[in-house]
């Protein structure tokens, strides 16, 4: 049975030709090597509220992974540079009428946002001939299931709508924006005919489609409760910024909250399994992002990731390794914080294997900052670097950890081959894996900070809340 038509958020390629120059600069900075200092400088060039409003609205419309939209991603990076400036900017944006959050969604059109613009005296003929029962908000039922039309590694964000005429339509919840429509009359009177002859206003939101807006936030409530990857993705940006806002995320207060629905029998994120144990080599790793990893039946030797994890980059343009966002300064743990408790393999066992536990960080040495926050990640880096040195004593590395350093966290510079050319420290979450893959694709495999030499191998070295440090996967990057 064929699936209904799906309405999805418009991609970045749609927005780039039509957004303002300053918004393009912000997008370019976030896509390259995000610097909170540079982003804050760009923001401060906006002198009037009208300029800030247009800039924020445009960034909110562009989907971003893993931060939901480019506006939220920008504020997270500014927070890493200057937390108070991020709070001030967020407050200003909210007061101007922007529904600020990683789940705010975005408008599908920024045309006719001036409420003083003359409205057309009559609707388009193709719209006028359709009955009001075809209005997209006049659905008979709306169903949300975290496993319906989901993408690999991500819970579904799709509402399934049915109408009186028995037609069906699927709608991504992020096409429904939390920001108030700046010109709802324009949006309604300039409605267009969408899939399945549905009448669609230019912008979907509380002002034009209140029932869809309510259903969106019912789905968001389910996502928060039932999908670990979604909770992690949201918490990245929440730490240390929005908790300081005096007026909440939405101009009109918090969205409607629904009771959680029961977990489906086929969730997109596998159930939690025990973490790897010290001494494991090539053991099947805990579920991550719904991706399939190949395993070595012998339990030793090299493991090859699934084809889904392979990256095919373009040619490198320079010899400088990749980049990472700056993090606030934190107290460096002592050397005793890192403890491998295992002997160093020799011979063919020296190179690392997928799923191999490199060491443990004792509980009393774990960071006290909120998990998934920038300070938490920064505090994990020094003991993880010690663990890597202990596991590969016959290899030489350059570590780019700590505030002000750019590039991959670990770069192999000489000595015995550890099984990877570069490595990066990431939380063992789907969002951490997604960010790692994005960095491999967009930064380290091409452009001004490309890793020299091809092919190369990029290792994600993950950390878990219990202090386990292990190799999540090694991606082989080929020309």
Average pLDDT over residues 427-449: 69
For 389-399, what is each residue's pLDDT tens digit?
888 999 999 88
Low-confidence winner among 209-223, 227-241, 324-338 (lowest mean pLDDT): 324-338
Show Cβ contacts of residue 461 under 8 Å, excluding neighbours closer than 6 positions.
358, 384, 388, 409, 410, 423, 424, 425, 426, 469, 470, 471, 472
C-alpha to C-alpha distance for 247 and 253, rounded to whole angstroms: 7
Of 65-74, 101-110, 365-374, which range is least confident?
365-374
Name which of 105-114, 237-246, 305-314, 431-440 the model is least confident about. Answer: 305-314
pLDDT band at 4 (very low <50, low <70, confident <90, very high): very high
For residues 6 and 461, give the distance between their C-alpha atoms in angstroms, rounded to a whole number: 37
Q: Does the pLDDT at position 350 exceed 80?
A: yes
Q: Decide if pLDDT at 264 tops 70.
A: no
pLDDT value at residue 372 = 63
Q: Do you find a cis peptide bond into 251, omega within 30 degrees of 0?
A: no
Is beta strand 456-463 parallel, antiparallel or unpaired with respect to 422-427? parallel
Please count the CA atoms within 13 angstroms of the CA of 434 that sit on its side-chain side.
19
Q: 409 or 333, which is more confident? A: 409
**Predicted pLDDT at 289:** 33
pLDDT for residue 452: 55
Instruction: Report the first-to-last Cα separation within the chain, whole angstroms.
Output: 39
Max mean pLDDT range (18-27, 238-247, 403-412): 18-27
* Over residues 372-377, mean pLDDT: 73
CB atoms near residue 375 (< 10 Å) = 18
- pLDDT beyond 90 at 373: no
pLDDT number for residue 99: 85
Q: Which residues contact 30 (CB under 8 A, 6 or more apart)?
A: 39, 64, 70, 73, 74, 77
* pLDDT at 443 (0 to 100): 58
pLDDT tens per residue, range 100-159: 888 899 999 999 999 888 887 766 788 888 888 899 999 999 999 888 887 765 678 999
| CB of 216 closer than 8 Å to CB of 105 | yes
**Tokens coding 12:** 């970045």
Location of structure tokens 């590039």 = 407
C-alpha torsion sign, points 136, 137, 142, 145: positive
What pLDDT score was predicted for residue 354? 81
CA dist 74 and 83 (Å) reads 12
In angstroms, rounded to a whole number, what is the distance separating the alpha carbons of residues 440 and 409?
13
pLDDT above 60 for 337 = no
For residue 250, what pLDDT is reported?
41
Least confident of 34-43, 329-338, 354-363, 370-379: 329-338
pLDDT reported for residue 431: 74
Q: Per-residue pLDDT averaged across 65-75, rounded?
A: 89
Asked if residue 451 has pLDDT above 70, the reply is no
Q: Is the pLDDT assigned to residue 8 strictly greater than 80?
A: yes
Distances (CA, A) of 44 to 67, 324, 424: 22, 23, 32
- Quote the tokens at residue 192: 């267009």
Q: Where are the alpha helices (DSSP H) in 352-467?
A: 374-391, 430-439
The mean per-residue pLDDT over the stretch 313-327 comes to: 38
- Number of neighbours of residue 422 by Cβ within 10 angstroms: 24
Per-residue confidence (pLDDT) for residue 118, from 0 to 100: 87
pLDDT value for 42: 95
% of the chain beyond a pLDDT of 70: 67
CB 340 within 8 A of CB 358: yes
Mean pLDDT across the chain: 74
pLDDT at residue number 403: 61
> CA 156, CA 8: separation in Å to the nearest integer?
12
Higher pLDDT, 326 or 397: 397
Phi, psi of 355 (to 5 degrees): 85, -5
pLDDT at 152: 65
Q: Please say if the pLDDT value at position 5 is more than 50.
A: yes
Give buried/exposed letters for 334-352 (b at 16+ CB in 10 A, else e): eeebbbbebeebeeeebbb
Which neighbouring-strand residues pair with 170?
6, 160
- 410-415/422-427 β-pairing: antiparallel
Sketch the domain layout of the chain as residue ranges: 1-269, 307-477
CA proximity to 112, closest of 2, 191, 193:
191
Residue 266 scores a pLDDT above 50? no
């Amino acid at each position: 049975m064929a699936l209904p038509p799906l309405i999805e958020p418009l991609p970045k390629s749609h927005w780039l030709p039509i957004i303002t120059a300053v918004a393009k600069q912000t997008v370019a900075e976030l896509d390259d090597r995000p610097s909170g200092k540079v982003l804050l400088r760009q923001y401060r060039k906006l002198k009037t509220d009208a300029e800030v409003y247009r800039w924020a609205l445009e960034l909110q419309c562009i989907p971003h992974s893993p931060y939901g939209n480019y506006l939220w991603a920008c504020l997270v990076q500014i927070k890493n540079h200057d937390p108070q400036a991020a709070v001030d900017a967020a407050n200003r944006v909210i007061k101007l009428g922007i529904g600020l959050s990683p789940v705010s969604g975005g408008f599908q059109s920024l045309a006719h946002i001036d409420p003083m613009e003359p409205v057309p005296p009559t609707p388009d003929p193709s719209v006028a001939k359709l009955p009001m029962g075809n209005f997209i908000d006049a659905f008979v039922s709306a169903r949300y299931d975290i496993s319906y039309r989901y993408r690999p590694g991500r819970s579904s964000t799709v509402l399934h709508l049915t109408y009186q005429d028995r037609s069906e339509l699927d709608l991504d919840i992020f096409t429904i924006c939390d920001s108030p429509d700046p010109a709802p009359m324009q949006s309604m009177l300039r409605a267009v005919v969408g899939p399945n002859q549905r009448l669609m206003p230019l912008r979907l939101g509380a002002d034009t489609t209140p029932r869809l807006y309510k259903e969106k936030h019912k789905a968001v409530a389910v996502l928060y409760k039932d999908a670990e990857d979604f909770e992690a993705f949201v918490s990245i940006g929440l730490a240390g910024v929005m908790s300081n806002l005096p007026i909440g995320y939405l101009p009109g207060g918090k969205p409607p909250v629904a009771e959680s629905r029961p977990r489906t029998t086929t969730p997109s994120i596998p159930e939690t399994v025990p973490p790897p144990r010290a001494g494991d080599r090539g053991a099947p790793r805990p579920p991550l992002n719904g991706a399939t990893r190949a395993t070595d039946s012998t339990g030793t030797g090299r493991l090859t990731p699934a084809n889904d994890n392979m990256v095919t980059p373009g040619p490198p343009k320079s010899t400088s390794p990749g980049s990472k966002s700056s993090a606030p300064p934190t107290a460096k743990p002592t050397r005793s914080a890192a403890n491998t408790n295992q002997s160093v393999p020799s011979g063919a066992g020296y190179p690392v294997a997928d799923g191999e536990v490199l060491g443990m960080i004792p509980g009393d040495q774990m960071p006290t900052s909120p998990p998934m926050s920038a300070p938490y990640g920064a505090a994990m880096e020094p003991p993880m670097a010690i663990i890597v040195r202990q596991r590969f004593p016959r290899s030489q590395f350059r570590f780019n950890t700590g505030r002000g350093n750019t590039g991959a966290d670990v770069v192999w510079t000489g000595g015995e081959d550890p099984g990877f050319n570069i490595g990066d420290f990431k939380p063992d979450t789907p969002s951490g894996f997604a960010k790692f893959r994005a960095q491999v694709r967009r930064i380290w495999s091409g452009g001004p900070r490309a890793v020299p030499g091809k092919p190369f191998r990029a290792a994600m070295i993950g950390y878990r809340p219990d202090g386990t440090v292990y190799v999540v996967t090694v991606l082989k990057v080929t020309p």
